[in-house]
Structure 1
Amino acid sequence: MKRVIVDYKKLTNEILSMLVEKYPDGYGDDDIISFKNAKNETVDALEIRAEDAIYLVKVSTRLANTMENFDEEDDDYSSDDVSSDDIDVPDDNDDSDE
């Protein structure tokens, strides 16, 4: 099974939907895995398992905001008419959870 590292900017609606389903109330420190990438940089990510791949979604404040917005506006999105680049991500940097 392949492992794919995905930044929140590149999330498809399918992966975002799996994230929201797995973490409906958000994610905590225990859900985050850390690893070194090819540049020997530490990366924090959430693991999402699909049938064909394991997705490692990089963790950031914007990821949490994107997940919240997707869950709140779930009815407005469909994989046919909206790409992940079209999801409105607020610029506020409320890091009170971190």
Structure 2
Amino acid sequence: MKRIIVDYHKLTSDILNLLVEKYPDGYAYNDIISFQNSSGETISAVEVRTQDTIYLVKISRKLEKTMDEFMEDENSFDDDNDFN
């Protein structure tokens, strides 16, 4: 299974949809995973999964705002980012 760390700026509409489905009321403290990246920085993220990939989405204020906006109008999300 692939593990991918995703920053707010690289969210796709598919990943954002997974986030909104898993955390419709937002995520709680116990949903947050903290780990150190290769640079030794502590990263906080929430996890969503597909059949073959685990996405760790970095937490930020912009992530919360984006999730809220996506829930309000899914068609307005700009999905210019694609990665695998």
TM-score where L is the length of structure 2: 0.90
Which is greater in Rg?
1
Which runs of at least 4 in structure 1 moved beyond 4 Å after TM superposition? none
Residue 54 (structure 2) pairs with residue 54 (structure 1): yes
Which is bigger in relative contact order (C-alpha 8 A, separation at least 6)?
2
TM-fit CA distance, 1:84: 4.9
- Unaligned 5+ segments in structure 2 are none
TM-fit CA distance, 1:28: 1.2
* Identity over aligned pairs, percent: 54
Is the 1:7–1:57 contact (alpha carbons within 8 Å) kept by the matching residues of 2? yes
- Unaligned 5+ segments in structure 1 are 86-98
1:18–1:84 CA distance, 2 compared to 1 (3 A): farther
How many positions carry a matched residue from both structures? Answer: 81
Is the 1:35–1:42 contact (alpha carbons within 8 Å) kept by the matching residues of 2? yes
Question: Deviation digits for residues 20-57 of structure 1, max 9, x if unmatched?
Answer: 00000011111100000000100000011111110000
* Cα RMSD for the two superposed structures: 1.5
